[in-house]
Amino acid sequence: MTDALSLPALGYGAANLGNLHREITDDQAHEVLEAAWDAGIRYFDTAPHYGIGTSERRLGAFLATKPRDEYVVSTKAGRLLVPNEEYAGELDTAHDFFVPATVRRQWDASADGIRRSLEQSLERMGIDRIDLLYLHDPDRTEDPDRELASGSDGINALKAEGLVRASGVGSMSAATLARAAASGELDVLMVAGRLTLLEQPALTDTIPACEATGTGIVAASVFNSGLLARDNPADNPRYEYGEAPAGILAKAVRIADVCRAHGVPLPAAALQYTLRFAPVRSVVAGSSRPEQIRQNAEWMNLAIPEDLWAELTAEGLTP
């Protein structure tokens, strides 16, 4: 990863600021961000996709009250926001965001599309620069390889001009992440849900490629959509935003039992696990509740005995 950008161990993922799954007010969003700042969090990640611009606007309004050199901010490109000419008062619930669908997403990872996306993000956020720009979900397009190549080139062109400090790709696809890492052309990968205490598909190709090319990793979705967010996974058996399969839930419960035996909250272990891999620079976790933000910060600083990790491996629960 570029020497010009240093990421703290814990960051805030701002999807919830875009009214993900439920509506919050601007004041509530500000309270969440103040809680994050007060807890020492100085890395904030957002995207145009999150609430079709709502997350960026709310985050930008908050960051405008803070010294620019005291925080790191990342956003994403690949989806342009364009007017929704068919808007008839509906909400963006098809994408799980409770905001008016006055604009729509348009895939565009061309050099011009990437540049326009950055310009729009800067305008929505009202700040003068983005530290880290990720290409967002190229695997969800019709031609992932083409979009990955074009989008990566577009972001690196902006980096060469000094408009962003670091370049990256964010994805839930282990195959896409591995190809991005192997290129050696990017600074950071945002690995979403593919390197967690529960599952580690990124270990097969992505981690080795990152180690070979010096590519850093930001781990996201480390709670596996909430399954690892409580001490008893059966209390919230959600996985990939749906009901957890029986085998996945059983494994999560076994991991929780081991954590409990060592006096460690399951969410604390989930937050800290990925930092055990050398390429991982930061973990981003989101919430719409200030108390959860404060709790995440406490869990990230909790001392976890090596015996816990050893037992999880001995039980075949982690590699």
SS (H, E, C) 38-82: HCCCCEEECCCCCCCCHHHHHHHHHHCCCCHHHCEEEEEECEEEE
CB 76 within 8 A of CB 151: no
Round to whole Å and give the CA distance between 36 and 207.
29
CA 261 vs. chain centroid, Å, equals 30
Annotation marks residue 50 as catalytic: yes
pLDDT digits (tens, 9 = 90+) for 156-194: 999 999 999 999 999 999 999 999 999 999 999 999 999
Residue from 50, 71, 134, 273 carrying the catalytic annotation: 50
**Quick one: pLDDT at residue 4?**
60
Provide the token pair at 156: 């690196």
* pTM of the entire predicted model: 0.95
Round to whole Å and give the CA distance between 216 and 210.
7
**Quick one: pLDDT at residue 1?**
46
Partners of residue 133 on adjacent β-strands: 75, 167
**Quick one: pLDDT at residue 239?**
83
Contacts of 45 (CB under 8 A, 6+ apart): 11, 12, 13, 14, 73, 74, 75, 190, 218, 220, 284
For the chain, domains (ranges, CATH) are 10-224+281-286 (3.20.20.100)
To which H or E segment does residue 164 belong? strand 164-171
**Quick one: pLDDT at residue 238?**
81
CA angle 134, 29, 34 (to 5 degrees): 90
Stretches where the chain sits below pLDDT 50 are 1-2
Round to whole Å and give the CA distance between 236 and 224.
11
Could you give the dihedral angle defined by the CA atoms of residues 144, 194, 93 and 294, in that order, rounded to the nearest 10 degrees? -140
Backbone angles phi, psi at 274, to 5 degrees: -65, -25
